[in-house]
Amino acid sequence: MYLCLCKGITDRKMQCALSKHGSDPDSLITAFDLDRDCCGRCAENIEDLIQVAAECTAHTQTETR
C-alpha cells in the first residue's frame, strides 16, 4: 500500500525504515527526504504513517499464520 505518492513510499519501505531508524518522526522525515519535492502531507502526518505501517505489519503477520 502506498503511504506517500510524491515519494513513492510504500508500507514495506516504511517498515524497513522503522526497523533501521526506529519510530522517531524526525529520523523518518530525514530518511525519506520529506522536506523537499513533496506535498508535505507525509511530513505533517508521519506519526499516522508509522501507525499505518505497524498495522500493515500486524495484518501481514496474521495472514501468513
Domain ranges of the chain: 2-63
pLDDT tens track, the chain, 65 positions: 788 888 888 878 888 888 888 878 888 888 888 776 677 777 677 777 777 777 776 766 666 66
The reported pLDDT for the residue numbered 64 is 64
Q: Which three cell numbers stand for residue 7?
A: 515519494
The reported pLDDT for the residue numbered 60 is 65
Q: Which three cell numbers stand for residue 13?
A: 519501505
The reported pLDDT for the residue numbered 61 is 64
The reported pLDDT for the residue numbered 39 is 79
The reported pLDDT for the residue numbered 46 is 73
The CATH architecture assigned to 2-63 reads: Orthogonal Bundle (1.10)
Between the alpha carbon of residue 49 and those of residues 3, 29, 33, 53, 54, the distances in Å are 7, 11, 15, 6, 9
Phi, psi at residue 54, to the nearest 5°? -65, -40
